[in-house]
Structures are given as C-alpha cells and as structure tokens.
Amino acid sequence: MSNANFLDPAIWPASATRSHSGEIVVGGVSVSELAKKYGTPLFVFDEADVRARARAYVAAFTVDDVATKVHYAGKAFITTRIAQWVHEEGMGIDVASVGELEVALRAGIDPNDIVMHGNNKSVSDLTRAVEVGVGRVVIDSLIEIERLNEIAAKAGIVQQVFVRLTVGVEAHTHEAISTAHEDQKFGLSIASGMAMAAVDNILECDSLSLAGLHSHIGSQIFDASGFEIATHRVIEFAVQIRDRHDFTVSELDVGGGMGIAYVDGDDPLEVSHMGKAILDIVRSECARVHMPVPIISVEPGRAIIGNPGITIYEVGTVKPVELDDSKVRHYISVDGGMSDNIRTALYNAEYTVTVANRSVGEVTAASRVVGKHCESGDIVVRDAQLPTDIRPGDLLAVAATGAYCRSMASNYNHLPRPAVVSVKSGKSQVLLRRETIDDLLSLDAGIS
C-alpha cells in the first residue's frame, strides 16, 4: 500500500489501522461494517483512546507538591457515556449550559465535580445549578453575582465561585497575543477594574464564597507561552486581592484550549510537557510573590475528545471543476456537510481525509470534500489530495472530528443529525442514535 494509506497516529484514533484489503478498522471494527449497521454520516469514537487521553491528562497533572483538578470541557462533545468514561479516568466535568449539566447529572457525575460556565446564565440556569449542588460556578458578570447570591441565600447554601478574568492575552496555536483592548464578551477585565469590583462584591455576599480565579485564553494552543503571560497577570491580580482584602486565593483555573493535530505539520506540545510547563509556571509565579501554590485546575476538551473521533461519509457524486488556471479540482460530495461539521465554514479549519473502505491508489488529484447543503460554503475539507478513482458508494473518513462537530451540529435543510457510536475490542455501541425526519417533524406544531 502507498504512503497515502498511512494513518498518522498523531491525527487518527490510536487504534485506527488498515486491514489487508486496505479498509480502515477502528477499535477492531471495519468502517464498512459500521456504515452498514448504523448508516452514514456516522461519528465513530475509539473508547480506549478517549480514556487513554483522559488518563494521560490526569497523570500529567498529578504531582506530589501541588493539588490539581482536571475537568473535561463537555461543550467539546458530551454524552452520558463519554461523561462516565472521563469521570472514571479521574476527570471532573465543565458545563456551559443546563443542557450539558443535565447530561453530566444523568451520567451520575458527583455534582461537586461539576463546574458551570457561561457569560449569560439565567435565573433558572443558576437555580438549577444551586439546587443540584454544582461544585463551582464561574462568575462572568457583575449582574450574575447579585443573581446567584439571592438564589443561594434562598436555598440556604453558600455557593463556591470562581471569577473569570479577562487577562488581555489571547493564544491561538503558535502565538500568544497580548491585546490592549479587551473587546470580547467573556470575563471581567483586570485592567478596567471590573474584576476587582467583582471580587469586592463577592466578598460582601453572605451566600457566596470566593474559591478562586479563572482564565481561559483561547483554543488550539500549541505551547505554554500564553499560559505563562496569563498566569503572570492572574497571580499579580491575586496579590492585589491579598493586599486589598487580606484574602488568599486558594484555587486557580488556567482554562483549556490545549491544541491537537488536525493535519500534517500540526505539532502541539505533548500532554506531559504541557502539564509540567503549566505547573512550573504557577509554582514559579507563586514563589515570586510569596504565595502558597493554589489548587490548580485545567479544562481540556478538544485534547481529550478531538482525535479519538472520526466521521464516516458516503460519496454521492464526483464532479471535476475547471479552475481559472485550467487546472481541475474534483468536487466530491458526501451525505453530510456543514450540518455535522461547521468548523471548516466557521473557522477555516483544516482536516485530514482519506478513502476509508479500500486502499488508496497512487493517482491523486486536487480535491474538495463538500456536503449536500444549499450553500456554496458547505465545505468539509477544503484542500485534499484524493485518488482520481473515487466513485459513488465509496466511504471517506475525516479525522479528528470528535470535538466541536456533533456538538455544533444543526438541522440545516432539515437533515437529521448523524448517529454517534463508540468502538472497542471489536464491538460497537450507540452513544447517540441517528435523528429521523419524524423526530424533526414531531417539533412542527402542524396545520390543523
């Protein structure tokens, strides 16, 4: 088999291989068997790989001298089983809505291991969080402080909270950018004084307890430099709190956003190195200001669930399109698209795609994998080299679609959202069943 058949383990699920016939096999199950049993498009998760990545994250943050917590950012993709897997491997769960909270509760996660985020948590969101006993609520506005204090008082509890700081640092992939203006909706700005106002207010609230500080600087972060600048600013802020209120911050949540490889050349810091780097940064910053090292939390989402998940599509049509420079691009249409993967349209995200049901021939052409939606921006993989002999009925596999694909899926064009299955030791199981058109019609109030 040619090089084009190689499944780079940095990008594909750990168990993904090609069989003798060249077909992709994940968790011991062939993709054509999965497609036949569950239909396409189909999300397939390698359970052992999800668990291994969760375990590796917990291990990377398990040290003798510092207490740590690792939370799975459920917004990347959560089902009850996935919540159970990562919880069994030692992770708590971050939720960003009541919907995500209910999944974690349904999975039997101890509410105390759940952290609730969101820049606009309603009275009913916060009431539910307090009622079930969510461990930490991350405060994201001054208005929320009053709202939550009242709810906690009514419930007769003291709610532990974090303050989400805007530190003026943004990290994407290789660069950490310090931004003077902080023109975005999340967090409370240190520079503007809003963050300190929040601390002042929380410390006055009888039913809130300031557990710690939180910052989250971006996504697809490949090295620790952004965490270094952010942590420096957060610890400086903790010093201000100490000086102003004689109050020592006992927890520090450095957020998530640790990057993964989507395509050849993506080179994120390995998890054990990222863990060590973050712990070292916090230790040295605390030593500098003579502050005890707080409990450190991290919240990876994509880094746990991204690579263990792939999408299987069936090819429907193939169309050579002549470009301006008389070159040709093959448009390969699949049976899903922007409704199951919006990231290409939304972020210009890049993906790795290959033929999945057989080995790939040597002769390839510039290709674009597109969906079936009524939108020219409905692109799954913008630039791919795919064999010229691709035909209707072939299966394609797109790698690293475990995070922010099914979780961001829509019903555009009234397409039912795909099923999600997991594979392990030659067996498959459904995590989320495929939606049906009847499911969609059941929402329609009708005409009578």
Name the residues annotated as catalytic: 374
Q: Rule CB under 6 A: say whether 92 interacts with ligand PLP.
A: no
How far is residue 10's CA from residue 309's CA, in Å, rounded to a whole number?
A: 13
How far is residue 245's CA from residue 281's CA, in Å, rounded to a whole number?
A: 25
Give the one residue of 75, 81, 233, 406 binding ligand PLP; rule: CB under 6 A: 75
Our CB check for ligand PLP shows the closer of 38 and 72 to be 72
Specify the amino acid at residue 176: A
Our CB check for ligand PLP shows the closer of 305 and 384 to be 305
Give the one residue of 35, 73, 78, 421 binding ligand PLP; rule: CB under 6 A: 73
Give the one residue of 74, 118, 212, 257 binding ligand PLP; rule: CB under 6 A: 257
Closest CA to 299 of 251, 348, 261, 344: 251
Residues 389-408 that bind ligand PLP (CB under 6 A): 403
Q: Which residues, at least 6 apart from 154, have a Cβ–Cβ distance to it below 8 Å? A: none
Q: Rule CB under 6 A: say whether 168 interacts with ligand PLP.
A: no
DSSP line for 342-401: -HHHHH-----EEE-SSPPPS-EEEEEEE-SSS-TT-EEEEEEEEETT--TT-EEEESS-
Q: Smallest distance from the beta carbon of 342 to ligand PLP, in angstroms?
A: 15
Q: Rule CB under 6 A: say whether 140 interacts with ligand PLP.
A: no
Residues 298-357 that bind ligand PLP (CB under 6 A): 299-303
Taking every pair of Cα atoms in the chain, the longest distance, rounded to a whole number of angstroms, is: 72
Our CB check for ligand PLP shows the closer of 76 and 419 to be 76
The span of 61-69, 146-154, 254-262, 313-321 binding ligand PLP (CB under 6 A) equals 254-262
Cβ–Cβ under 8 Å, residues 105 and 434? no
384, exposed or middle or buried, with CB in 10 Å at 0-12, 13-18, 19+?
buried
Q: Smallest distance from the beta carbon of 260 to ligand PLP, in angstroms?
A: 9
Cβ–Cβ under 8 Å, residues 260 and 271? no
How far is residue 117's CA from residue 161's CA, in Å, rounded to a whole number?
A: 10
Our CB check for ligand PLP shows the closer of 140 and 378 to be 140
Give the one residue of 25, 70, 76, 338 binding ligand PLP; rule: CB under 6 A: 76
Residue numbers at the binding site for ligand PLP (CB under 6 A) = 73, 75-76, 94, 117, 216, 219, 255-258, 299-303, 403
